[in-house]
Structure 1
Amino acid sequence: MSLYERLLSGEEKLSLVGLGYVGMPIAVAFAKKIKVVGYDFNAEKVALYKKGIDPTREVGDAAIKETSVDFTADPEKLRECKFHVVAVPTPVNEDHTPDLTPVESASRTLGKYLTKGSIVVYESTVYPGVTEDVCVPILEKESGLKCGVDFKVGYSPERINPGDKVHRLETITKIVSGMDKETLEEVANVYKLVALAGVHEAESIKVAEAAKVIENSQRDINIAFMNELSMIFHKMDIDTKSVLEAAGTKWNFLNFKPGLVGGHCIGVDPYYLTYKAESLGYHSQIILSGRRINDDMGKYIAESCVKKMIACDVPVKGARVGILGFTFKENCPDTRNTKVIDIYNELKEYGIDPIVVDPTADSDEANRLYGIAFDTMDDIHDMDAVIVAVAHEEFLGITTEDIKKWYAPSRGKRVFLDVKGIYNKNEFDEAEFAYWRL
């Protein structure tokens, strides 16, 4: 009987190592079909799951309360499982080199409890070669087992998009790969349980790793192009959104928009690819150029705000500036690698102490990572300028009359930056507003 069949019969269990925005939804999905152990070293996070609370908001509290996932912070439970999925973050260091610490640590932990006949599948985004050249030696060392003899490995890159309620695990094609034909068949069959749109069988683990890392690199480059266009069009006094709406009427025009590129995928993954390329003697040109543009957008937005203030005779030093939204994307509590922090820090360079409001963000995480304590919407008053940085649902219904109340009564023209262009610019009277959007 195959491992897939033993999982279906309940004879064996699947483990999910890493219960974040990616791992937890996968665990919940698999638990509808087979027995699942959900492991995370963060005992506080595990305690929330056990209470039926979803801090990621990816599946919701109701789904967490109903799921049969055995949530645990005890790695000993991994010994009960034969099919292991590792879904931990792969960030970058300050110098933009890959930080493989999380995936190495997860491999060490899993290796200690790995048993013969197991299959380990990595989902973390890495450069080609990490699974076999970095993770496998760690698994072998910690377990005392031999890969290819005692256990097998595969790779199936995560494609969960935090906050996206349309492109879910059940609705997207899942790439799968294995170290050999037998492993590939097992991995494909297991993932077909939850990837209802089907799987794509990559010819090797390295191909699957490369496919994932270029997906986000492609998006990064396209967004960088839009950001560069935005900067050019601002100098021409042309509204970028209007240009894109016009150009978008052509059937093959790619629908990308300018914006802040943060988070743990698009703003990170390209550096994994360029790092590997550098090690092979190739210096990336297009990819790194795009990264430089996108990494500078927070500074550009802050500078644009200051220029608008100066043009409106608003004293910059000590000005009251509100920033609405702090997460890396809309309707998602994740603040990791948010580029809104770049706006915040740049404004502080001008002697401004911004007020930050985000009803969606994980406030504890923001305070821990950035030392920022959020204010509330009630604190947005007597403003000299306001920047709506993230298009949260909570901000969409705000009217121009609501916005007017945010400013000091004596303020003449109100400096208002609508970074994502979520409002109708024609509703902002030029006599009353200095309106700006990316």
Structure 2
Amino acid sequence: MQNDSTTTVTVLGLGYVGLPLAVTLAKQFTVCGFDVDARRVEELRAHHDRTREIDADCLAASSLSLTDALADCPPSDFYIVTVPTPIGAENRPDLSIVEAASRSVGQLLGPAVAAGKRPIVVFESTVYPGVTEDICGPILERESGLSCGTDFFLGYSPERINPGDREHTIDRITKVVSGQTEEVLDRVADLYGAVTSGGVFRAASIRAAEAAKVIENAQRDINIAFMNEIAQIFARMDLSVGDVLAAARTKWNFLPFEPGLVGGHCIGVDPYYLSHRAEQLGHHPRVILAGRTTNDGMAQWVAERLHQARKERTGSVLMLGLTFKENVPDLRNSKVADLVAKLVSLGHGVTVHDPQADAREAHDEYGLTLDYDAMSRSYDLVVLAVPHRDYLAMSTDALRATVAPGGTLADLKGVLGADADWRL
């Protein structure tokens, strides 16, 4: 069964993943975007995207309809769930948000079927294999009173959004798609294939597609963990890991990963979904958990190294950047916050500056106050933690002006070269 211009889509969750997807789909189909955050919906109606993924002109020109009222969502051919799947206590998967979204979709399925639709519920949220069919499917059945595989159907197409990346956008990447039946797979493939020039890859099953997503990020996490471990080893040898990697990269098949803080909504979270499921099945995932342990402890190690570089003298610290990566406002799972906390525990007074981050979110998430005037003063230790373009546009003299006499300028990402006093 082919989709056509009359196809109606409802996207649930309008964050970093859902909004770009909804806007892109709205170029080809009738699309409604739903989010439980009324403030978020109000901002989007005013053509303001706080994630900075979609600009005002694009929002103004889009045919996308927006609502925070579930009852306003129209009967749809597709319901696409793009809500977060974080981790909770003891790094266990927290499926509460995707379960709540499933309950919401379940309430919409009855009206859709009554309107003559054969709705497909597609999940994009990162999960371990089996969640879509074993957890979400039954919730949809209970809420709707309908039968999965007869009245409505399931699909899975893992998100591949990279915040701040203007090259690998939803309309250019290859989309992995899967469906409960061959007909459903065809419909899901047609939907995504209509909006991306990168084509679609038809996964063998929903579980295969779920697994593909979770290992993409686990693989990257493990590779960075290796870099972080060798950085710690070479530090004991008084070797610069940057110098070592510069030499190693001359080999044609050397993988160009770098050490650093691993945060954000994906890489620092998703491996725990796979490890959790592995443990449920009786397998202890040694490699995955070793990588997570190394990366989760990296901020504390860096703080201790900076403390030692200052000969364990406490003083004033300016932390440049708080977001989990450069040139985005995304503060989710920022390991810079862990770095700040460790420096404070060592006795340092830390001031945080970040031109990209939202002050209210920084306070609510981490209890940190952003000082937007912080760079007008000087400090004993200045740490370039996140190399936002705002910082890189500064002259060396201007950056040095924030360092007090006898102070230290530290560079965690190796972007300042010889201008830094300390490099990771």
TM over 0.5: same fold?
yes
Give the total of aligned pairs. Answer: 418
Distance 2:303 2:385 in 1: 11
1:95 paired to 2:94: no
Partner SS, residue 232 of structure 1: helix
Distance 1:368 1:225 in 2: 33
Contact 2:318–2:374 under 8 Å retained in 1: no
1:67 paired to 2:62: yes
Partner SS, residue 354 of structure 1: strand
Equivalence map 1:13-412=2 (5 Å): 13-114=8-109, 115-116=112-113, 117-310=118-311, 315-316=313-314, 319-408=315-404, 411-412=405-406
- Per the alignment, residue 413 of structure 2 pairs with 420
Partner SS, residue 33 of structure 2: strand
| Deviation string, structure 1 residues 333-390 (Cα, Å, up to 9, x no partner) | 1101110011011011122231000001122221211121200244452301011111
- Per the alignment, residue 436 of structure 1 pairs with 422
Q: 1:378 to 1:366 in 2, by over 3 A?
A: closer
Distance 1:3 1:105 in 2: 30
Distance 1:3 1:118 in 2: 13
Distance 2:180 2:352 in 1: 48
- Per the alignment, residue 431 of structure 1 pairs with none
Contact 1:78–1:110 under 8 Å retained in 2: no
Distance 1:244 1:350 in 2: 30
For structure 2, the residue ranges without an aligned partner over 5 or more in a row are none
Instruction: Say what the alpha-carbon RMSD is for the aligned residues.
Output: 1.3
Q: Percent identity?
A: 48
Please tell me the residue identity of whatever aligns with 2:23: V
| Deviation string, structure 1 residues 97-130 (Cα, Å, up to 9, x no partner) | 0000110010011111113211000000000000
Contact 1:390–1:420 under 8 Å retained in 2: yes
What is the TM-score normalised by the length of structure 2? 0.96
What is the TM-score normalised by the length of structure 1? 0.93
Distance 1:235 1:65 in 2: 55
Partner SS, residue 109 of structure 1: helix
Contact 2:41–2:66 under 8 Å retained in 1: yes
Give the superposition deviation at 1:3: 6.2
Give the superposition deviation at 1:50: 0.1
Please tell me the residue identity of whatever aligns with 2:228: N
Please tell me the residue identity of whatever aligns with 2:54: V
For structure 1, the residue ranges without an aligned partner over 5 or more in a row are 429-434
Partner SS, residue 81 of structure 1: coil
Q: 1:380 to 1:345 in 2, by over 3 A?
A: farther
Report which stretch shifted further, 158-167 or 18-27. 158-167
Please tell me the residue identity of whatever aligns with 2:284: H
Please tell me the residue identity of whatever aligns with 1:424: G
Please tell me the residue identity of whatever aligns with 2:277: K
Partner SS, residue 270 of structure 1: helix
Partner SS, residue 262 of structure 2: coil
Give the superposition deviation at 1:80: 2.6
Contact 1:22–1:160 under 8 Å retained in 2: yes
Contact 1:321–1:355 under 8 Å retained in 2: yes
Distance 1:120 1:362 in 2: 33
| Deviation string, structure 1 residues 122-169 (Cα, Å, up to 9, x no partner) | 000000000000101111111111101100010000001111111111
- Per the alignment, residue 3 of structure 2 pairs with 4
Contact 1:322–1:380 under 8 Å retained in 2: no
Contact 2:320–2:354 under 8 Å retained in 1: yes
Distance 1:82 1:164 in 2: 30
